[in-house]
Structure 1
Amino acid sequence: MISKGWKLGIFVFFLSIVMVCGPALAAEKPAKPIKIGVLFIMSGPMGGYGKHGSHAVQLALDEINAKGGILGRKVEALFEDDKMKPEVGMEIFNKFVQKDKVDFIMGPTSSAIAVALADLALKEKKLLVLTQAAANSLTDAKFNPYLFSTLSNALMHSRAGAYFMAPKGHKRWMNIGPDYAYGRESWASFIAKLKEIQPDVEVVGELWPKLMEKDFTPFIQKIVETKPDAVWSSLWGNDAVNFVKQALPTGVFNNVKFAFTDGAALETLVPLGKDMPNGIYVAARYFFLTPDTGMNRNFVKSYMDRFKELPDYMAQETYAGVYFLKAAIERAKSTDPQKVIKAVESEPLAWETPEGWKIMRKEDHSVVEDVVWGETLFSEKYGFAILKNLQSIQAEQICRTPEELKAVRDGYDKRMKEAKK
């Protein structure tokens, strides 16, 4: 029989083991990883956009995890193809939230899908970081606090285009753009600002092909017949490629000036190669040759070493979006959506990216940055057109003012009250 003294001694011995080893065992248990659900178009003719975006997420997370993660936690990403369909995007969003239990959601490529997801983000109180969808209504008319846009939107690019084009003096303008939120908003913002700067501008036609149109012949013929001085185009990706190739035999590029708001995307320039005419006015949210900084050079090299191709603007913007999320979480010291929102809104959040510094402002959770326009010039070195005669339009000229935001907010107070029910 064990005496009371021995029992007490054994108890104290085991208690000391627990006290010494317990904290060590707890410390060894890895922290739960932060999970990001990523959805882009990853298949079909526009699939390159999602491919670049997914690659960028992988690259950024590898860098972040190699340095200890975020708040000491590793970061994981789940990838899904939304197939450029709003209903598929909504299914994926719900899967991310309900089954995968992700902390944040990033994407999509198409603004049509982003508009559908915005309401879900508010309903589920889940942060949605927009790194590719560029419709400005997402962060003005349809704004809700669970949306953050880390790329310059359609309004910013279009206003910048107006400042870039106005001095050139073209008076008779046409539009050709995809018939959904992005295309409509791009043209509306461009022509409104152009008329403000250049009051004698005349609109002589608007053309609205469906997204992923295959036959642009009737639209091209209409431009040829109308004989405008210039055409504004928000066609992007494979649509822009098909339009240019189908228009070349008509000689329209010799007689009409074109301004493509997404024309400097590698998803357009690389497939076109020598077929992209010189002297086309183009913009993109990023071009791999600029700026000439250590960070951009390192990004381009790392991307090429890993994926054996140059990074498109969708890659850089998504890469920047991941680092925005890192900065926001670290400022909040939490992954809780409410705390992250409060932290970002406490003061403007600035973070460095390959294209330069970006600033997230509290008024509309939109990025503040300059927009660069230029002209195409074929490069024998690269085998596709690069940019010349670059002009940077300052952010102060192109972002909505707080007063403008209040004027365009669509039922904001009502939507917020309903979301709290």
Structure 2
Amino acid sequence: MAKTSMTGWLALGVALALGASAAQAQTAPIKIGELNSYAKQAAFTVPYRDGWRLAVEEINAKGGVLGRPIEVISRDDGGTTGDATRVADELVTREGVSLLFGSFLSNVGVAMADYANQKKIVYIAAEPLTDAITMAQGNRYTFRIRPNNFMQVGMLVEQAKASGAKRWAIVAPNYEYGQSAAAVFKRLIKESVPGAEIVAEQYPALGKIEAGATVSALEQAKPDGIFNVTFGPDLTQFVREGNTRGLFEGKTVLSLLTGEPEWLLPLKDEVPEGWIVTGYPWDEITEPKHKAFVDAYRAKYNDTPRLGSLLGYMVLYMIRDTIERAGSTDTDAIIKALEDAKFDTVAGTVTMRGIDNQSSMGAWVGKLVLKGKSGGMSDWKYNDGTSYMPSEAEVKAARKD
């Protein structure tokens, strides 16, 4: 038997090591980073996390993406811009994630968009609504899933035309999201309703509304229409005080997000019937793909889905599809795969418009109604977001990139 030289053994060892390394690289998980305000905004973000976890489980059970499992490394962003960018940097530099997604508060979303642009990494804003994320602060690395303020407010204002209301009051939380929504409403209501005027504006601090003073100020202005942007505990207090004092009687009320189960369920039997809202009537949507999602979600969590659940589920599948199209986790390839891409989602076909990286996901618009001891939506309709997006001219004028 011929003796193998030391050089031969070394060569064989190197070849085996290289082969093992290549095999490990092919099966190593694709790491993606996620951050959100789980402690401070649990009503929305915990169901959202349940949604993306369900999607990850399903995707990996079917072989993952590019033959590799997806691993989501998730962190709490503290609900502040400073904590969010610090956490994002840890995910990128220490964990080596291929992209980032998530965040809830709009001011955090704006900070993340800036971070993504500086670090040249893709950030997918799942939930923040301020127009700035895809307009004034928009950049090639930042994409958004939900319909923005301009789109959702446009849907509500469309419903206001037939009401005859011209004297409008605004109540909105005093931070990026509320200010953005109020600005859009003031513009669109005047463009859509001849003679419309804003007679009162109230901007309580987020999570610190003084409902008595807020309702009193609105009453004194004698509006015939109210545009509400409050959510969470602020919404509950505002509704309770407004109901007690009869603020909403005989008035048209347009309300962002109030038909979403996250904010509707806590109102219980105090739901202000007749409000025109954006929301999520999950139990009445009959499309097979959506029903399959609901069944899978309820089976796994023994709970009903929230809008956050739907978004979390959608964004993971959209990320899966994007990486498949890109054929890699290279940032430029991912951007190219996202721009003007169409996705078949549980909410229908969604296009990621290349000019501003804003998705065409729509919203369900209807009226609040009391169903037994809790609220729901009636006379609702799903409005595709395509018809409500800012024009290309507006996008080009607003964006700096």
For the criterion TM > 0.5, the same-fold answer is yes
Which secondary structure state, in structure 2, belongs to the residue aligned with residue 93 of structure 1? helix
Following superposition, the deviation at residue 255 of structure 1 comes to 3.5
State, as a whole percentage, how many aligned pairs show the same letter.
26
* TM-score normalised over the length of structure 2: 0.93
On the 8 A contact 1:163/1:393 being kept in 2, the answer is no
**Which one of 39, 45, 52 corresponds to residue 43 of structure 1?**
39
On the 8 A contact 2:362/2:383 being kept in 1, the answer is yes
Partner amino acid for 1:194?
Answer: I
**Could you say which structure has the greater relative contact order, defined with CA pairs below 8 angstroms and 6 or more residues apart?**
2
- Between the aligned partners of 2:243 and 2:20, the Cα distance in structure 1 is 70
Show CA shifts across 1:271-304 (max 9, x none). Answer: 11111121111102x4313431111111112112
Following superposition, the deviation at residue 308 of structure 1 comes to 2.2
Following superposition, the deviation at residue 377 of structure 1 comes to 1.1
| Residues 324-403 of structure 1 mapped to structure 2, 5 A cutoff | 324-345=318-339, 348-380=340-372, 383-403=373-393
On the 8 A contact 2:272/2:368 being kept in 1, the answer is yes
The 3 A distance-change label for structure 1 pair 148 and 396 is closer
The answer to whether residue 274 in structure 2 is matched with residue 308 in structure 1 is: no
Following superposition, the deviation at residue 396 of structure 1 comes to 4.2
Following superposition, the deviation at residue 243 of structure 1 comes to 1.5
On the 8 A contact 2:52/2:314 being kept in 1, the answer is no
| Residues 86-165 of structure 1 mapped to structure 2, 5 A cutoff | 86-165=81-160
Following superposition, the deviation at residue 191 of structure 1 comes to 2.7
- Between the aligned partners of 1:359 and 1:181, the Cα distance in structure 2 is 26
Residue matched to 1:32:
28
Report the more deviating stretch, 104-113 or 189-198.
189-198
Following superposition, the deviation at residue 186 of structure 1 comes to 1.1
Residue matched to 1:85:
80
The 3 A distance-change label for structure 1 pair 392 and 19 is closer
Following superposition, the deviation at residue 15 of structure 1 comes to 9.4
The 3 A distance-change label for structure 1 pair 27 and 177 is same
On the 8 A contact 1:175/1:233 being kept in 2, the answer is yes
Partner amino acid for 1:365?
Answer: N
On the 8 A contact 2:282/2:305 being kept in 1, the answer is yes
The 3 A distance-change label for structure 1 pair 71 and 29 is closer
Larger radius of gyration: 1
Residue matched to 1:293:
287
**Structural RMSD (CA):** 2.5
Residue matched to 1:204:
199
On the 8 A contact 1:281/1:376 being kept in 2, the answer is yes
Which secondary structure state, in structure 1, belongs to the residue aligned with residue 140 of structure 2? coil
- Between the aligned partners of 2:4 and 2:294, the Cα distance in structure 1 is 67
- Between the aligned partners of 1:8 and 1:84, the Cα distance in structure 2 is 63
Structure 1 residue runs without a partner (length 5+): 414-421
| Residues 197-346 of structure 1 mapped to structure 2, 5 A cutoff | 197-284=192-279, 286-345=280-339
Structure 2 residue runs without a partner (length 5+): none
Following superposition, the deviation at residue 13 of structure 1 comes to 12
- Between the aligned partners of 2:18 and 2:225, the Cα distance in structure 1 is 73
Which secondary structure state, in structure 1, belongs to the residue aligned with residue 100 of structure 2? strand
- Between the aligned partners of 1:89 and 1:26, the Cα distance in structure 2 is 34
The 3 A distance-change label for structure 1 pair 207 and 337 is same
Residue matched to 1:418:
none
The 3 A distance-change label for structure 1 pair 109 and 279 is same
On the 8 A contact 2:149/2:181 being kept in 1, the answer is yes
